[in-house]
Amino acid sequence: MDLNLKGKTALITGSSRGIGKKIAEALAKEGANIVITATNIEKASSVAEELKKEYNIETLALKHDVKSSESCKEVVDKTVEKFKSIDILVNNAGIARDMLVIQMDDNNWNEVISTNLSGAFYTSREAARYMLKARRGKIINISSVIGKMGNAGQTNYAAAKAGIIGITKAMAKEFAARKICVNAIAPGFIQTDMTGVLPEDTVKNIMNITPIKRLGNAEDVANLAVFLASDLSDYITGEVIAVDGGMSM
């Protein structure tokens, strides 16, 4: 089975740490050239340097604010300028601003919607301009079980992640004739900085509703991302695949 990732160009948004970094590492291990983005360029550069040395691939680190359509355009254009193509886009950058609805001000609503949803739209739109011409591409959107199930205290996050499922299916239909596959991964609770702030009781409750009795790790998500980025998934599009230990089944 050939994943056929060697020499392909993969742009992973928000890849300076957590799930994005693990996906970048897993794709680098398969020989893909990697673009690391984050708002913190120092951290992005250090990951890009690390991967270049470890896997003997080409990398690029770019400062990126997914909330800005100009920044998304610049990142995609610079990727193509360096690598002459963009084969794989992983829309991973995301934030959480959890609070009850009546405490959620406009800013907390808008920050999460623009980072987690608009960012994926802007970056996909720019990448699609190149992928449509090339008549190939893989777009992988990181949604969440919360987008499927909802969760008290996460109305902004649930809306954005449900929106991700919508754009995945709409773009999958729009791009299918040009051999561009668009799929979403819906992780459960994965151990990263984002979930590191959760109180012990919350973590216990999560374990209780997870049939496979552990939290996920970033590799669990990265393994599926590699498959969806590879030629092995060429007949799969518009799907939302959970990586959640059975939580949302």
Residues annotated catalytic, as ranges: 157
Other Cβ atoms within 10 Å of 149 Cβ, number: 18
Q: Are strands 180-187 and 137-142 parallel, antiparallel or unpaired?
A: parallel
Alpha-carbon Rg for the chain, nearest whole angstrom, is 17
Shortest Å distance, C-beta 209 to ligand NAP: 14
Task: Note the residues at the interface with ligand NAP (CB under 6 A).
Answer: 13-20, 37-40, 43, 64-67, 92-95, 115-116, 142, 144, 187, 189-190, 192-195
Q: Do 242 and 145 touch, CB atoms closer than 8 A?
A: yes
Residues 6 or more apart from 57 whose CB is under 8 A from it? 28, 31, 32, 33, 34, 51
Q: 95 or 132, CB closer to ligand NAP?
A: 95
Q: Return the ∠ at Cα 130 (arms to 129 and 131), rounded to 5°.
A: 100
Q: 66 or 127, CB closer to ligand NAP?
A: 66
How far apart CA 24 and CA 46 sit, in angstroms, is 13
Shortest Å distance, C-beta 170 to ligand NAP: 19
Q: 42 or 231, CB closer to ligand NAP?
A: 42
Other Cβ atoms within 10 Å of 22 Cβ, number: 23
Shortest Å distance, C-beta 135 to ligand NAP: 28
Q: 56 or 191, CB closer to ligand NAP?
A: 191
Among 70, 171, 167, 174, which residue's Cα sits nearest to residue 117? 167
Shortest Å distance, C-beta 116 to ligand NAP: 6
